Structure 1
Amino acid sequence: MEVGAVGAMRYVKDGIKAAKLVMLYTEHTMLVGDQASAFSISMGLPGPSNLSSTESMEKWSKWREDQCQPNFRKNVVPTNSCGPYHRKKDVILGERTHLVDDDVENILMKSSHVNFHNHDTISMTIFDKSGHIAVGTSTNGASFKIPGRVGDGPIAGSSAYADDEVGACGASGDGDIMMRFLPCYQVVESMRLGIEPRLAAKDAISRIAKKYPNFVGAIFAVDKNGTHAGACYGWTFQYSVRGPNMDDVEVFTVYP
């Protein structure tokens, strides 16, 4: 039950190390933004650093040339430009307020920018010789996100969760959707009730897919005895395992 996290952090390359510093040297759970960067640098991490690359700058320039499309805006005008953006006109219907053209369109658009071509989340679980379990997740976040966005990576119970008495879970996918369900917390609690990892992972994914049929995501689950499994939706997922008696990792493929 020790947790450290950082979000919306710039200028520091090693986000996972920064999260560990929060866990080890503060009584907080999460630090965000430039103050998270300042804390990390003050605790010995290199920075401030320019983390832009030629590839990322070219990607950003092309996105700007394409009128900042795609992006994660909704219910705003203009829809095909780089802004500034304004809310669509509200329509009053009885005692309810609706935004024009919103409900069905927004449900269909969920996860439209998340797929295996633009995803970079790494989630890992480690067992030590004493049976203690640690988990960690690191990600650059969604491409073309709105500045200030924090996804599921640093949210305990969403992208990762562990309990020495039960097991652990890691997740990847559409973080804006997944964090609403805390799927890894759900997996660990299901395993606590005696549900095997395969069914626990499948159940957590199914709960999300039932509400968001266009969602893209995956989960791996491992119990305290080392039994592991994965579940996914919207893509074919792979995870790797290495045990103390193995010479190399073994890759497992999970199909939707």
Structure 2
Amino acid sequence: MEVGAVAAMRYVKDGIRAARLVMRHTQHTLLVGEAASDFAISMGLPGPTNLSSPDSMEKWNKWKENGCQPNFWKNVVPVNSCGPHHPKDVSSLEELTEVTCSSSNHLEALASNSHHISLHNHDTISMAAIDKTGYIAVGTSTNGATFKIPGRVGDGPIAGSSAYADSEVGACGATGDGDVMMRFLPCYQVVENMRLGMEPKLAAKDAITRIARKYPDFVGAVFAVDKNGLHAGACHGWTFQYSVRSPDMEDVQVFTVLP
């Protein structure tokens, strides 16, 4: 039940180490933004550092030239530019409230941006480890959704969403459309399923199915491992792979999970 996380942190490359420092040296769970960067640097991590690469700058320039499309805005104007953005057909806060409460379509409200998520623009890394005494730890690190709105925080630093562990039960890691998945805390669900007696395969499948019932177009996956090392994965919208290494294995083994 020890947790540390950082979000929207800039200028510091090693987010997972920063999160561990939050866990080990503060009584907080989550630090964000420039203050998270300041904390990480003050605790000895390298920075401030320019984290842009030639590839990322080229991708960003092409995106700007394409009118900042695709993006994660909705119900705003202008549609085909980089902003600033304003609510569509709403001139006051009162009208915005009225539109939101009375006119919004429920299915539109549930629409996700999963079309932005693919094997080619994803960099989430989630890892679980069981030590010789049976203690279980899990961590997740990601740059977040490509072309996200500045300030966006996805499921990566949210305990129970992208990662969760209980040494009495097991652990889970997740990846995919974090803006949707974080609404379900899928990794918490996986661990609780295993606590209730489900094997990892069924526990993972149940958590993914709960999301798919509400968001049939979402893309995502979870892995589950119990305290005895039994593992499995479940996914929706793509073919998912995860790897395993144990002391009795000569090398890492990759497992493929079909949707």
- TM range, smaller chain: over 0.9
Provide the rounded CA distance (Å) in 2 between the counterparts of 1:106 and 1:165.
38
- Partner amino acid, structure 1, of 2:51: L
Q: Secondary structure at the match of 2:132?
A: coil
Matching of residues 81-120 of structure 1 within 5 Å: 81-90=81-90, 96-98=101-103, 103-105=106-108, 107-120=110-123
**Alpha-carbon distance change, 244 to 83 in structure 1, aligned in 2, over 3 angstroms:** same
**Alpha-carbon distance change, 20 to 84 in structure 1, aligned in 2, over 3 angstroms:** same
| Pick aligned residue for 1:181 from 177, 181, 184 | 184
Q: TM-score, with normalisation over the residues of structure 1?
A: 0.95
- Partner amino acid, structure 1, of 2:88: K
Instruction: Give the corresponding residue for 1:145.
Output: 148
Structure 1 residue 249 corresponds to structure 2 residue 249: no
Instruction: Give the corresponding residue for 1:41.
Output: 41
Instruction: Give the corresponding residue for 1:73.
Output: 73
Instruction: Give the corresponding residue for 1:236.
Output: 239
Q: Say which structure is richer in helix.
A: 2
Provide the rounded CA distance (Å) in 1 between the counterparts of 2:213 and 2:152.
25
Provide the rounded CA distance (Å) in 2 between the counterparts of 1:93 and 1:155.
31
Per-residue CA shift, 1:199-221, capped at 9, x if unaligned? 00000000000000110000000
| Pick aligned residue for 2:169 from 166, 171, 178 | 166
Q: Secondary structure at the match of 2:102?
A: strand
Per-residue deviation, 1:246: 1.1
Over the aligned positions, Cα root-mean-square deviation in angstroms equals 1.7
Provide the rounded CA distance (Å) in 2 between the counterparts of 1:230 and 1:224.
15
Q: Secondary structure at the match of 1:112?
A: helix
Per-residue deviation, 1:106: 5.5
Per-residue deviation, 1:98: 2.5
Per-residue deviation, 1:105: 4.7
| Pick aligned residue for 1:190 from 184, 190, 193 | 193
Q: Is the 8 A contact 2:72 2:113 kept in 1?
A: no
Q: Secondary structure at the match of 2:165?
A: strand
Instruction: Give the corresponding residue for 2:11.
Output: 11
In structure 2, list runs of 5 or more residues that go unmatched.
Answer: none
Q: Secondary structure at the match of 1:144?
A: coil
Per-residue CA shift, 1:132-190, capped at 9, x if unaligned? 00000000000000001110000000000000000000000000000000000000000
**Alpha-carbon distance change, 7 to 93 in structure 1, aligned in 2, over 3 angstroms:** closer
Q: Is the 8 A contact 2:110 2:214 kept in 1?
A: no
Provide the rounded CA distance (Å) in 1 between the counterparts of 2:160 and 2:107.
29
Per-residue CA shift, 1:30-79, capped at 9, x if unaligned? 00001000000000000000000000000000000000000000111111
**Alpha-carbon distance change, 109 to 168 in structure 1, aligned in 2, over 3 angstroms:** closer
How many equivalent residue pairs?
Answer: 254
Per-residue CA shift, 1:65-120, capped at 9, x if unaligned? 00000000011111111011100124798994335xx6545544531211111111
Provide the rounded CA distance (Å) in 1 between the counterparts of 2:99 and 2:235.
41
Q: Is the 8 A contact 2:72 2:149 kept in 1?
A: yes
In structure 1, list runs of 5 or more residues that go unmatched.
Answer: none
- Partner amino acid, structure 2, of 1:113: H
- Partner amino acid, structure 2, of 1:145: K
**Alpha-carbon distance change, 148 to 89 in structure 1, aligned in 2, over 3 angstroms:** same
Q: Is the 8 A contact 1:158 1:183 kept in 2?
A: yes
Structure 1 residue 216 corresponds to structure 2 residue 219: yes
